[in-house]
Amino acid sequence: MLDLGGERTVPEEALRRMARAIVHRGPDEEGFFIRPGVGLASRRLSIVGLADGQQPMKNEAGNVHVVFNGELFDHIEKRRELTQRGHVLRTHCDTEILPHLWEDYQEGLFEKLRGQFAVALWDDSKRQLILGRDRFGIAPLFWTRQGDWLLFASEIKALLASGMVPARPDRKGIDQIFTFAALPGPTTCFEGVRMLPPAHYLRIQPGGQSTGPTLDERAYWKMDFPDQGQEVDGDAKDLVDSFEKHLLHAVGMRLRADVPVGSYLSGGVDSSMILALACHLHGKN
């Protein structure tokens, strides 16, 4: 949560209730970062960097803090690039690359990420909060403004657990659920609670004595399709081989973990093909 009006003391018990409400998302560890006007909480499911990946994670200077849900599939390559540029990384966890990428690219960091993620980043020197979500919205992220407080979480139940967010229905969101059997967003079924759209980030700057807070939502990516006549064409076998190569690479990146990896198999073409590719890469264990 963030004080939009200044640097009031964060209600720590409310923050802890929010974290307890989503313990099922991260049963392994919890972590907190609390400063005047801002509080971050993390529930961790350990997948990468089991021994040293505790969150919140910070940079060398200790002025950028991050809580993160998801996986960054190319973190090994990104760690190598950051180290070559002089950054000092102290863990084996994918989360740690985020504060360092922020140092180098600021809001351009989201274009550099490959993975599924929801991230909250606090820059202490700018007194600025950044919320971001992956390109396809695999990881959820909800936020709400209640007076001069902004609250955000991976699930709406965590917002409600704060005791600061009233549970009132939003008829538009409920209509979308019954119409589409899904929520396209940013509307939700709860009045005043918004979903951050996929491939977007939200920049929040608290207000000062003479200025009010600013909330700026931006898209960092959109799906691009070729115009008619500009499609990639060629020999059918070459196209199939190229497509298979891309799929193998994508599946291989998602098999990186410090714990056993499983697969959901529904019996359809998609999941069957992904499992077959995983077996091709890792054997049939």
pLDDT number for residue 209: 74
Burial of 6: CB neighbours in 10 Å, binned 0-12, 13-18, 19+? middle
Q: Is the pLDDT score of 192 beyond 90? A: yes
For residue 97, give both structure tokens. 């690359």
Domains in the chain, CATH or no CATH each: 2-219 (3.60.20.10), 236-282 (no CATH)
> For the segment 261-273, what is each residue's pLDDT rounded down to a tens digit?
888 899 899 999 9
Work out the average pLDDT over 111-125.
97
49, pLDDT greater than 90: no
| Whole-number Å distance between alpha carbons of 112 and 165 | 34
For the beta carbon of residue 103, count every other beta carbon within 10 angstroms. 18
What end-to-end distance do the CA atoms of the chain give, in Å?
43
- Residue 225: count other Cβ atoms within 10 Å of its Cβ: 7
Please determine, for residue 232, whether its predicted confidence score (pLDDT) is greater than 90.
no
* Nearest one of 23, 3, 22 to 154, comparing CA atoms: 22
The helix/strand/coil state of 274 is: helix
